[in-house]
Amino acid sequence: MPFRHAEPGGAMIEGGRLATVVVARDALEAAQKPEKAHYLTEAVVDYVNEIQRVGVYTGRELPAVAMQAYHADYYLAQVNNSGHSQFIGNTGIEMLPTTAGDALAGLKAMGASAQQQILQEMMAWVEAHPGEAALQNGHSQRAATLRGLDRRFYEAEQQQPMTPLAAQWIANWPELRAVAQEQYASEIQRLAQLHPHLSQRRIWRSVRQISFQMTDRLQITVAAACGAVVPEPELKLLVLPGFDMNVEGKQCMAFGVKTDAGSRVCVFEEAGGRLYEYGLPSPIPKPGEVKQESSSNRHLPVVGARLSTVSADTILNFSRIAEQNLAAEAIDLLLRKSDMDPAATITALRVSDDRATWLAVSGRTCVMATTLGDRADLVGSDGKAELTVTRAETERHAAEAAAGRESMRLQA
């Protein structure tokens, strides 16, 4: 089957779906060789990720073939990594019908009949065993039936691998448009601008990210613990995965944290949170040396000095004030009015019965904002308000975010 280049022009949105898939021309040309077929399948995956990031499109608003190829590639990657059990576990039971449905359509279209049959049998097993399916994780829980499907899948991949089939299918999409690499970003931006709810969805996305940091129990605990460091608060930049560790003689759930001062460890518990300096793990012993600790603990961080303690009441008060004063919406609006990127990381500094003060890091800039019932202020280094948004302005901004959220739900 010959490869073709889709011509530019024509309708960009048809029937509520974007009608164009953009890839770099180099990827399309390279994929004419079977051993480089993955260049094109990866280009489609990159397109789906990028257009959703830049244009805030939902999967149901993208070309159907793009989502079919995307989820077929996801299926392949998950099964190759740790079998059908991992595919189920990482996808989640709620999203499995949509994800597998797309993958099945893609497998059929590309001609991967053996893999399609195996995925159909997996879905039949899930439907017949919903309880066991919900436990699958690719590691400690791996059903025997799924292991059998794994073996058959790997054999099918040996006989006729999916990726060259997928590349040949993709190369002949009418929706495909190949552009020079240097034009790719501008094409994505152009397609993003076609979405009628782009502005509202971008507001919703950034407000949601800020709100999550203020109301998620783990995030606000870390944010408050960083803000409670004296004499100078530390800026929360990133919360890393959690692990069990011994802290001050007690087994605790702890999370790695990146702040402007470096690496930290935050203990997360019912009583609140505690922030500690990060200590390097004990070195792995040289051959012949005796080491008492178990090998499973060798690479865990160890804590240094305690930097702060924050109570559960304080943490809950931050979240209460954030919701009451529309803090996420207000800070998002203040950042936008200051021509700053609203994708900010939030540190919780001070809270009282009616207000809270936050530190927002946007790019390389940190600003202080105080959110009150009737307004929100961007505070300068002299402690005075440099910019104020009223409650009415914030409520209008919140309405824009809500409209963006609702437009997403309608397309889900």
Cis peptide before 34 (omega within 30 of 0): no
- In this prediction, residue 165 carries a pLDDT of 97
With beta carbons less than 8 A apart as the criterion, state whether 335 and 394 touch.
no
With beta carbons less than 8 A apart as the criterion, state whether 222 and 257 touch.
yes
**Selection from 35, 150, 37, 44 nearest residue 106 by Cα:** 44
Eight-class DSSP state of 283 = P
Query: What is the rounded distance in angstroms from the CA atom of residue 190 to the CA atom of residue 206?
Result: 21
With beta carbons less than 8 A apart as the criterion, state whether 302 and 311 touch.
no
pLDDT digits (tens, 9 = 90+) for 297-306: 445 567 899 9
Eight-class DSSP state of 216 = S
Q: Three-class SS of residue 274? A: strand
With beta carbons less than 8 A apart as the criterion, state whether 69 and 44 touch.
yes
**In which residue are the tokens 């009628």 written?**
196
Q: For the chain, which residues score pLDDT lower than 70?
A: 1-11, 280-301, 410-412
DSSP string, 193-234: HT-TTHHHHHHHHHHHHHHHHHHSHHHHHHHHHHHT-SSSPP
With beta carbons less than 8 A apart as the criterion, state whether 109 and 172 touch.
no
- In this prediction, residue 280 carries a pLDDT of 64
User: pTM for the complete prediction?
Assistant: 0.82
Query: What is the rounded distance in angstroms from the CA atom of residue 397 to the CA atom of residue 365?
Result: 23
- In this prediction, residue 137 carries a pLDDT of 83
The angle subtended at Cα 207 by Cα 202 and Cα 208, nearest 5°, is 100
Q: Three-class SS of residue 223? A: helix
Cβ burial of 92 (10 Å; 0-12, 13-18, 19+) is exposed
- In this prediction, residue 203 carries a pLDDT of 97
Residues 6+ apart with CB under 8 A from 245: 251, 252, 254, 265, 300, 301, 302, 303
Percent of the chain surpassing pLDDT 90? 85
Residues 6+ apart with CB under 8 A from 49: none
Domains of the chain as residue ranges with CATH: 13-195 (1.20.1420.60)
- In this prediction, residue 253 carries a pLDDT of 95
Query: What is the rounded distance in angstroms from the CA atom of residue 191 to the CA atom of residue 56?
Result: 11
Rounded (10°) CA dihedral 329, 334, 339, 342: -30
- In this prediction, residue 267 carries a pLDDT of 97
pLDDT digits (tens, 9 = 90+) for 152-206: 999 999 999 999 999 999 999 999 999 999 999 999 999 999 999 999 999 999 9
Query: What is the rounded distance in angstroms from the CA atom of residue 401 to the CA atom of residue 208?
Result: 9
Residues 6+ apart with CB under 8 A from 401: 200, 203, 204, 207, 208, 329, 332
